[in-house]
Amino acid sequence: MARGRFITLEGGEGAGKSTQARALAQLLRARGKTVVETREPGGTPGAEEIRALLVNGEPGRWDAWSEALLVFAARRDHVERVIRPALARGDWVVCDRFLDSTVAYQGYARGLGAGAIEALHALVIGRLRPDLTLVFDLDPALGLARAAARRGGEGRFEAQDLAFHQRLRAGFQAIARAEPGRCAVIDAGQPLEAVTLAGERALLDRLGGEL
């Protein structure tokens, strides 16, 4: 059986990734694909417990290295129990956040550097990379307003100051510039329907030959 495809959605707080992940999964299923929808941090019972440690509490609860190590502990379990088995079965995986979020959040916004995060990934996860990454780009002030309005989500990170979120956006933009073959940038400031259509077009442009 052919290996499945791995699609990730990335972006700052309030960018609408979860909504768009559901839309992409629906499109893939309509094209006859078996789809695993998942998220990070999380995706397994153990990883979801680690997620709660990461996203709840005061902004200063963890330093940057502690955050990164918790993320990779969750990711290791998620990859081994969910992502790799799904891809080996030939399923398509749609994941809300993956490595690029760690590079952006802990590497760029928290100052560890992209190289340190990539080295951890190589050690803990290996060579696994997404086949396609959609980066939902949004002004941080607008994203934080959206996140506050939904009354939920990743409270510790939403509570970081605006400068943190500006560094975060710059990190995602740098990742997309460095890997244009893998990453497609979507303007998440558009109306919802336009964002969904842009995401679907990016998927069909990059991987449509396999659908």
* Single-letter amino acid, residue 183: C
Over residues 121-146, mean pLDDT:
96
Cis amide prior to 41 (ω within 30 degrees): yes
Confidence check: pLDDT of 185 > 90: yes
| pLDDT of the residue at 49 | 98
pLDDT tier, 152 (very low <50, low <70, confident <90, very high otherwise): low
Q: Is residue 115 part of a domain?
A: yes
Q: What is the mean pLDDT of residues 102-126?
A: 98
The pLDDT assigned to 1 comes to 62
> Mean pLDDT of all residues in the chain?
95
Is the dihedral angle over the CA atoms 59, 64, 70, 75 positive or is it negative?
Answer: positive
In a domain, 38, yes or no: yes
Amino acid at residue number 31: R
Q: What is the pLDDT of residues 52-69, one digit of tens each?
A: 999 999 999 999 999 999
Domain, as residue range, for 135: 6-210
Averaged pLDDT, 169-193? 97
Residue 1 forms part of a structural domain = no
E strands, 127-178, in order: 132-137
Into how many domains does the chain fold? 1
Place of tokens 């959609």: 134
How confident is the model at residue 151, as a pLDDT? 63
166 inside domain? yes
Q: What is the CA radius of gyration of the chain?
A: 16
Region 128-132 average pLDDT: 97
pTM equals 0.95
- Range 90-111 average pLDDT: 98
Give the domain CATH number at 106.
3.40.50.300
Contacts for 96 with CB less than 8 Å, ≥ 6 apart: 8, 9, 17, 18, 21, 38, 39, 40
